[in-house]
Amino acid sequence: MEPLSLLLCAGVLFAGVSAPAQNTIGWSIPDVPSHAQARTAAVKVSVVPDRSGWTYALGEPVRFNVAVTADGQILAGASVTYKVGPEMLPAEEKTVALPAGGLVIEGGTLNEPGFIRCSATVVVNGRRYRGVATAGIAPESIKPTQREPEDFDAFWAAAKEDLAKAPLEARRTLMPEACTDKIDVYHVSFRTVGAANWRGLASRIYGILCVPKAPGKHPAVLHVPGAGVRPYAGNRELAERGAITLQIGIHGIPVNQPQEIYDQLSTGALSGYPLFNLDNRDTYYYRRVYLSCLRANDYLVSLPEFDGENLLVTGGSQGGQLSIITAALDPRVKALAALYPAYCDVTGYLHGRAGGWPHMMNRTLDGQPSPHASEAKIATTAYYDVVNFARRLKVPGYFAWGYNDEVCPPTSMYAAYNMITAPKELLLALETGHTTIPEETAIINDWIATKLGLE
Catalogue the active-site residues.
Answer: 317, 405, 434
- Show Cβ contacts of residue 46 under 8 Å, excluding neighbours closer than 6 positions: 65, 66, 67, 68, 69, 131
Which helix H or strand E contains 99, and what residues bound it? none
Q: What is the dihedral of CA 301, 306, 310, 313, to 10 degrees?
A: -60
Half-sphere exposure of 446 (CA within 13 A, CB side): 6
Q: What are phi and psi of 247, to 5 degrees?
A: -105, 120
Count of Cβ atoms closer than 10 Å to residue 214 Cβ: 11
Length of the chain: 455
Nearest residue to 165 via CA among 186, 193, 201, 145: 193
**Inter-residue contact 244 to 220 (CB < 8 Å):** yes
Half-sphere exposure of 47 (CA within 13 A, CB side): 30
Q: How far apart are CA 288 and CA 271, in angstroms?
A: 17
Q: What are phi and psi of 309, to 5 degrees?
A: -135, -50
Angle between helices 318-329 and 285-302 (to 10 degrees): 60
3 state DSSP class of 122: strand
**Inter-residue contact 185 to 209 (CB < 8 Å):** yes
Which helix H or strand E contains 418, and what residues bound it? none
**Inter-residue contact 303 to 246 (CB < 8 Å):** no
Q: Where are the alpha helices (DSSP H) in 276-419?
A: 285-302, 318-329, 375-381, 386-390, 410-417
Cα 133–Cα 363–Cα 347 angle in degrees, nearest 5: 80
